[in-house]
Amino acid sequence: MSLHVTVLPSGRTFLCHPDETLLAAAIRQGVGLPYACKDGACGSCKCRRLDGSVVMDSYQPRALSEAEAAEGQILTCRARPSTDVVLESRQVTETGGFPIKKMPTRVLSLERRSHDVMVINMQLPANDTLGYHAGQFVEFILRDGSRRSYSMANAPHVQPEPGKPSIQLHVRHMPGGKFTDHVFGGMKEKEILRIEGPYGSFFLREDSAAPLIFLASGTGFAPLKAIIEHMQFKGITRPAVLYWGGRRPGDLYMSDWVEQKCAEMPHLRFVPVVSDALPEDGWTGRTGFVHQAVLDDHPDLSGHQVYACGAPIVVESAQREFTARAGLLADEFYADAFTSERDKHMA
């Protein structure tokens, strides 16, 4: 038996089996609910349950606080319906998504851009296509069946390796991590890896003219790079400021690329922010936390749209403080928090 799920205010409906999550059913049927980690760790899929009841699988309290749960908010990635359900989610997208596909990919090149960032170009099969929105991610399916998510750093129209259908990924090493230890240890050109995608709701909402704040920490730059390429390609001239934060200047591993884009796109500005520069870095730019730099420059964020990506702590701080202190509408904050196994197992 399938249960009916209605999403307000759009009125979109879909069916959900009692043993699947609301999010899995929505993705299966091409309904664009917001989400990122799909694992109860990031909170991107949080929305209000207006009617009906759900059973919640376990999740991180950081993703959904007790107070939020008490006032009827749920995580669609952890909620299985026990009756018909009505949800409120203003970020649901109207357009159908791209089909989610599994395909083999081959490592074309590996380029170390900083002490802990590898830029990987992956070749896609010649006889298949991967349609996606700039900003979305794919999952690697590892040999043991576990999955790791990485955002495409190129817009779909850009081929990182000219003449070859390919995607670019920016991977930060997390020492002790199952996948990134391999990337920085044994990964070689020509290695074959299975991917599935596209996934995610982190892409530019083009029905708005609101000025844009792009907030990246570390490799959170990757999907924003794709979005900037997409804006240039489509001639989108909404004012946009990219705040990119790292501990040391070298963490902003493609700042020359951003400077070049700013020269080509007069409506785009770049504010690099470094939190732990050493004297030998000779850093003379902005310092401190990257989300604080946004607040310093924009004490009033009402009327803006924010796209934030990268370390979960940065994304969470930005969401909390931009909405509480600078008047940003909660629905105008779009985010992909790069959660990992550590975030899923934190007490």
Ligand X SMILES: Cc1cc2nc3c(=O)[nH]c(=O)nc-3n(C[C@H](O)[C@H](O)[C@H](O)COP(=O)(O)OP(=O)(O)OC[C@H]3O[C@@H](n4cnc5c(N)ncnc54)[C@H](O)[C@@H]3O)c2cc1C
For ligand X, which residue of 172, 225, 230, 298 counts as binding (CB under 6 A)?
172
Nearest by Cα to 124 from 96, 151, 150, 101: 101
137 lies in the binding site for ligand X (CB under 6 A): yes
112 lies in the binding site for ligand X (CB under 6 A): no
Q: Which residue type does 267 have?
A: H
For ligand X, which residue of 52, 177, 211, 239 counts as binding (CB under 6 A)?
177
* Residues with Cβ within 8 Å of residue 294, at least 6 apart in sequence: 213, 215, 243, 301, 306, 318, 322
For ligand X, which residue of 180, 292, 317, 319 counts as binding (CB under 6 A)?
180
Q: Residue by residue, what is the 3-state secondary structure of 201-253?
A: CCCCCCCCCCCEEEEEEHHHHHHHHHHHHHHHHHCCCCCEEEEEEECCHHHCC
Instruction: Give, rounded to a whole angstrom, the gap between the first and last alpha carbons of the chain.
Output: 36
Give least dist CB 75 to ligand X, A. 14
> Among all residues, whose Cβ is closest to ligand X?
177
Region binding ligand X by CB under 6 A among candidate stretches 26-34, 47-55, 167-175, 237-245: 167-175
For ligand X, which residue of 49, 133, 148, 298 counts as binding (CB under 6 A)?
148
149 lies in the binding site for ligand X (CB under 6 A): yes
Taking the mean position of all CA atoms in its chain, how far away is CA 139? 12
* Torsion angle of C-alpha atoms 227, 233, 239, 242, degrees rounded to 10: 40
305 lies in the binding site for ligand X (CB under 6 A): no
For ligand X, which residue of 91, 123, 151, 255 counts as binding (CB under 6 A)?
151
Answer yes or no: are the C-beta atoms of 231 and 203 closer than 8 Å: no
CA distance 113 to 170: 9
| 14-73 residues near ligand X, rule: CB under 6 A | 36-37
Assign residue 36 a region: left if phi > 0, alpha if psi is -120 to 50, beta otherwise? alpha
251 lies in the binding site for ligand X (CB under 6 A): no
328 lies in the binding site for ligand X (CB under 6 A): no
Region binding ligand X by CB under 6 A among candidate stretches 100-108, 261-269, 283-291, 334-342: 334-342
132 lies in the binding site for ligand X (CB under 6 A): no
For ligand X, which residue of 58, 264, 345, 347 counts as binding (CB under 6 A)?
345
Answer yes or no: are the C-beta atoms of 131 and 198 closer than 8 Å: yes
- Decide whether 49 or 170 has the Cβ nearer to ligand X: 170
Give least dist CB 15 to ligand X, A. 25
- Decide whether 145 or 175 has the Cβ nearer to ligand X: 175
- Decide whether 47 or 77 has the Cβ nearer to ligand X: 77
Per DSSP, the three-state class of 155 is coil
Answer yes or no: are the C-beta atoms of 223 and 153 closer than 8 Å: yes
# residues near ligand X by CB under 6 A:
27
Give least dist CB 173 to ligand X, A. 7
Strand partners, 166: 123
Q: How does strand 101-114 pair with strand 147-151?
A: unpaired
Give least dist CB 37 to ligand X, A. 4
For ligand X, which residue of 76, 89, 93, 219 counts as binding (CB under 6 A)?
219
State residue 295 phi and psi, 5-degree precision: -65, -40
For ligand X, which residue of 59, 179, 203, 253 counts as binding (CB under 6 A)?
179
Q: Tokens 């018909």 correspond to what residue? A: 84
105 lies in the binding site for ligand X (CB under 6 A): no
In the complex, the residues that contact ligand X under the rule CB under 6 A are 36-37, 137, 148-151, 170-172, 174-180, 200, 219, 222, 336, 338-342, 345
